[in-house]
Amino acid sequence: MKQLPEITALLQRYFDTLYHCDLQKFDSVFHPQAIYVSADKQPLLYRDMPTYREVIAQRTSPASRGEPRQDSIDAIELLGDNTAQARVRCSIGAEDYVDLLSLVRSAGQWRIIAKVFHIIDK
């Protein structure tokens, strides 16, 4: 089960990316061809990685606003040696999210290939 510590480390870098708006970590966490989707927005919100990266670059980080960090891993499911799925939660600003992350291992490195998220009503 060597994959679980590697995946957990990836998910922690993912949380760091969002909390600090760290573009260097963003590049190490997301596969360049990953997609970003939510059906909570109408029409369907879809972004490719260059577009999502620009959103992160322009966002004021929760860390710089002094927001308490709220993130957790609900579940990790290994689907094979190079494929996994994770369900995580985090808060950014006034919104709480559940993220379904599809993960792939390519060239020996785990990365997020798809992020589908749901905004939780408070």
- Each residue's pLDDT tens digit, 106-122: 999 999 999 999 999 76
Q: Quote the domain boundaries for residue 65.
A: 3-120
Output the domain CATH number for residue 35: 3.10.450.50
Domain count, the chain: 1
Q: Exposure pattern of 81-95 as b/e (b: 16+ CB <10 Å)?
A: eeebebebebbbeee
pTM equals: 0.94
The rounded distance, in Å, linking the Cα atoms of 61 and 21 is 5
What integer pLDDT is reported at residue 42 of this predicted model?
82
What integer pLDDT is reported at residue 122 of this predicted model?
62
Q: How many residues does the chain have?
A: 122
